[in-house]
Amino acid sequence: MTNQKLGVWWRLFRPFTLTASIVPVLIGTGLAIPSYGFHTSLFIAMFLASVLIQSATNMFNEYFDHKRGLDDENMVGIAGTIVRDGVRPKLVLAFGWISIILALLLGIYLCSQTSWWLALIGAVCMSIGYLYSGGPWPLAYTPFGELAAATAMGPAIVLIAFYLQAGTITWRATLVSIPIGLLIGAILLANNIRDMDQDVKGGRRTIAILIGRERGRILFGSVFAAAYVLVVVLVVLHLLTFWALAVLATIPTAIYVTRLYYQFTEPAKLHAAVKGTSNLLFRFGVLMFCAMMVSMIHM
């Protein structure tokens, strides 16, 4: 297989979006390690399952957006392997279902080692991954797409990862998961503000379309602000240690990507803001995870 073909298939996974599946697992695990220890096999299985669900969601999005005529060869972003690179739609759909099946097998293993109640939550997360773009009423075409996806990939994954290590759920883990969910929602909001003109033509009614570009910009910046304020509050309440304030080092990136939305409206110029938001989530998550590990050393 040539490097060009490898590049096409790599883009199908939309790698920069995978931060939304990696960071929640890191945070949930990091929260549990200081008090409950670390189970390597459960972490690896959860990590892979989360990435596979996100990958499947991306592939379903690629397939159904093409099927509904929303994508064309002039679209902006890393998607478009069907319309630009000629990958067969049914092959994309098949790879999406293969990813789901692999995640399901990993989920069965995780349930067998912990609790079968996880199967219910996992099934809901997988269903949202499909229903975000698929089904008769796709979530991505409604004002609730960001909220549903952010909840399924944010607090839900954080708490599952925490439970796998701890065997329980705590209020602390629940509250710490909220900033992660907010930043995952910011990625989707960034994408929808960038694509809102094309989405209007495709019949979507996203929150960005409903409230308009100007209010969308304000909401986008407000989500960042809320995430940072929550971290500070959690530190003040001693639910996170002082070291967690390291995440404030990502504020300049938040300001930068927010300014891009005030400077430009062209999708091509806003793609950097979408990638920047995803990269911010990754740095935010890694810094918070490191803060948890450092605080454990200083216990």
Give me the pLDDT at residue 112, please.
Answer: 95
Residue 138 is predicted with a pLDDT of: 86
Residue 253 has what pLDDT?
95
Rounded Cα distance between 158 and 93, Å, is: 27
d(CA 234, CA 228) in angstroms, rounded, equals 10
Residue type, 65: D
Domains and CATH numbers, the chain: 7-297 (1.10.600)
- How many angstroms separate the CA atoms of 151 and 184, rounded? 9
Per-residue pLDDT of the chain (299 residues; tens, 9 = 90+): 455 566 666 666 677 788 999 999 999 999 999 989 899 999 999 999 999 999 898 888 888 887 876 665 555 555 566 666 667 888 888 989 999 999 999 999 999 999 988 889 888 888 988 888 887 888 888 888 888 888 888 899 999 999 999 999 999 999 999 999 999 999 999 999 998 888 888 788 899 999 999 999 999 999 999 999 999 999 999 999 999 999 999 999 999 999 999 999 898 888 899 999 999 999 999 999 999 999 777 65
User: What's the pLDDT at 61?
Assistant: 86
Q: Is the distance from CB of 52 to CB of 106 less than 8 angstroms?
A: yes
* Residue 88, pLDDT score: 83
pLDDT score of 299: 59
Q: How many CA atoms lie within 13 A of 104 on its CB side?
A: 12
State the pLDDT at residue 152: 86
How large is the C-alpha radius of gyration of the chain?
19
pLDDT score, position 78: 54
Cα–chain-centroid distance for residue 209? 21
**Residue 192's closest CA among 209, 171, 211, 177?**
209
What are the backbone angles phi and psi of residue 240, rounded to the nearest 5°? -130, 155
Which pLDDT does position 297 carry in this prediction? 74
Record the pTM.
Answer: 0.91
User: CA 234 to CA 58: how far, in whole Å?
Assistant: 33
